[in-house]
Amino acid sequence: MRKRIGCLAAMTSLGVAGAAHAEDGKFTLDANMRARAEVIDGQYRAGLPADDAALLFRTDISATYAKGPIRLGVEILDSRVYFERKHSSISANEVDALEPIQAYVAAELGSGVSVQAGRFTMDLGSRRLVARPINRNDFNSFTGARLDWKNKAGDKLTGFWTMPQTRVPEDSAGVHGNRFELDEERIERQLFGAIATKAGVIGGTAELYSYRFVETDAPGFATRNRRLLTSGVRLSRAPKVNMLDYDMEGAWQTGTTRLSAAASDLVNHRVSAWMFHGAVGWSFKAPWSPRLSFNADYMTGDKTGGSFSRFDGLIGDPAYEFTPSGLYSLIIRSNIATVSARIEAKPNARLDMHFNLRPIWLATATDSFGNSGVRDPSGTSGHYVGTHIDTRVRYWLIPDRLQLGAGGAILFKGRFMKDAPNAPQTGNTRYGFMDTTVFF
């Protein structure tokens, strides 16, 4: 089964968002637009220009209609990029012109049970493995069905079967030309599973989940034939003033995969990989409402011999936790060992900000780092990727109507990013962005 359903400004950003509601409250129309100016220098990726700049423009229109227990939803996303270099890192993660990312029907069946079918976006659990990205210029979308149950105590259960969208165009000419091409869902790529949430556990919530990802080659559709089962547990407590909050999650990944999508690669390798995230934080009752947190993450990399051990982040969102997306997109949930100290503040209702300090190592010295393509098969360049610093400030120029944002990041490259055989000799990586969002 295969289905194809599928501006320009200066180096600042512009966003517009609107909402219209029918008088009876059953019809809702929302629209948002965002343009973000980004620059990067000292490129960390192998084989790309040392510097780049781009304007990323995103328009999102959604409508819902509810009558009784039935709800219909439609959402159209238009993601475009301008002014980037010819050999930029810009990809289908940033470009998807006039795409209907949601078209679904949902129904409340009573007793806390609801169903949804069609094309939709999803956030599951911590959003580390299945998510609708917030920072990125494009969203993840799925076609299929889901069943949700919840009770008044806060317990929840979600089961789902979907075909994740393949965002197109994928070719360089199509991406850089913002070509209109409707995304695809295929029976040859499936994601299904379940997640259960129990409230009131150690002052927070507990989650158990198991996700199955399966893909198969088809004419014009080359894959690594991944057949992955990812199961995990999470304990978390949301931040509250003068209270310790925490987030602990671990997942184990098994199954089979091929090392490449090449037609000549027919060897299925056993998979044995894992991830861990741990965080503790404290929100102070003080001016500026500061919150201090310490975080640790470990995702295995692939080692020579034995099982394939590089953790696969599935269809999650790394940007909200690690680094900005777009031209930067430094970290993915594979082959990293990292800790961080993060301070957040909200001086008033209009202003919020954060600052993050994060040293980064490779979990496996012989495997590649993130999206960089940089690798030292011998492992002699060591584990240390570098020290990463990022910051962001957002300000409501008009409360609930117009929001301005700006931020930046620096990667002080470590030994690995300097000495690996294909590491670009471009110095430290510097990145910055500006954006604006308006709500009506």
Report whether the peptide linkage leading into residue 290 is cis, meaning its omega lies within 30 degrees of zero: no
Can you tell me the distance from the alpha carbon of 33 to that of 426, in angstroms, rounded to the nearest whole number?
34
**Per-residue pLDDT reduced to its tens digit, 125-169:** 999 999 999 899 999 999 999 999 999 999 999 999 999 999 999
In terms of Cβ atoms closer than 10 Å to its own Cβ (0-12, 13-18, 19+), residue 111 is: exposed
**Number of neighbours of residue 420 by Cβ within 10 angstroms:** 25
Query: Widest CA span of the chain, in angstroms?
Result: 67
Can you tell me the distance from the alpha carbon of 269 to that of 209, in angstroms, rounded to the nearest whole number?
24
Can you tell me the distance from the alpha carbon of 418 to that of 313, in angstroms, rounded to the nearest whole number?
26
User: In sequence order, what DSSP letters do the residues of 111-122 get, joined into one string?
Assistant: TTEEEEEEEE--
Average pLDDT over residues 276-293: 97
**Which residue type, as a one-letter code, is found at position 48?**
L
pLDDT band of 372, cuts 50, 70, 90: very high
User: In sequence order, what DSSP letters do the residues of 309-364 get, joined into one string?
Assistant: -----TB---TTTSS-TTTT----SSSEEEEEEEEEE-SSSSEEEEEEEEEEE-SS
Question: Which pair of tokens denotes residue 132?
Answer: 């609708």
| pTM, 2 dp | 0.92
Mean pLDDT over the full length of the chain: 93
Average pLDDT over residues 346-350: 96
Give the residue from 237, 268, 238, 240 showing the smallest Cα distance to 255.
Answer: 268
Domains within the chain, CATH numbers bracketed: 111-438 (2.40.160.100)
Instruction: Tell me how far apart the terminal alpha carbons of the chain are, to the nearest angstrom.
Output: 41
- What is residue 357's predicted lDDT score, i.e. its pLDDT? 98
**How many residues make up the chain in this entry?**
440
Half-sphere exposure at residue 165, Cβ-oriented, CA atoms within 13 angstroms = 31
**Number of neighbours of residue 306 by Cβ within 10 angstroms:** 10
User: In sequence order, what DSSP letters do the residues of 245-313 get, joined into one string?
Assistant: EEEEEEEEEEEEE-S---TT--PPEEEEEEEEEEEEEEE-SSTT--EEEEEEEEE----SSSSB-----
**111 pLDDT more than 90:** yes
- What is residue 305's predicted lDDT score, i.e. its pLDDT? 82
**105 pLDDT more than 70:** yes
- What is residue 65's predicted lDDT score, i.e. its pLDDT? 96
**Per-residue pLDDT reduced to its tens digit, 22-32:** 445 589 999 98
Q: What is the sign of the dihedral through the CA atoms of 87, 372, 393 and 41?
A: negative
Pairing of strands 429-438, 184-186: unpaired
pLDDT band of 438, cuts 50, 70, 90: confident
Q: Which residue has the tokens 């929302």?
A: 30
**Per-residue pLDDT reduced to its tens digit, 199-225:** 999 999 999 999 999 999 999 899 999
Q: Which residue has the tokens 């409501």?
A: 396
pLDDT band of 116, cuts 50, 70, 90: very high
Based on its alpha-carbon atoms, the radius of gyration of the chain, rounded to whole angstroms, reads 22
Can you tell me the distance from the alpha carbon of 271 to that of 276, in angstroms, rounded to the nearest whole number?
17
- What is residue 220's predicted lDDT score, i.e. its pLDDT? 86
**Which residue type, as a one-letter code, is found at position 27?**
F
Q: What percent of the chain has pLDDT over 90?
A: 90
Can you tell me the distance from the alpha carbon of 37 to that of 49, in angstroms, rounded to the nearest whole number?
18
Would you give the DSSP letter of residue 172? H
**Residue 310 near residue 334, CB atoms below 8 Å:** yes
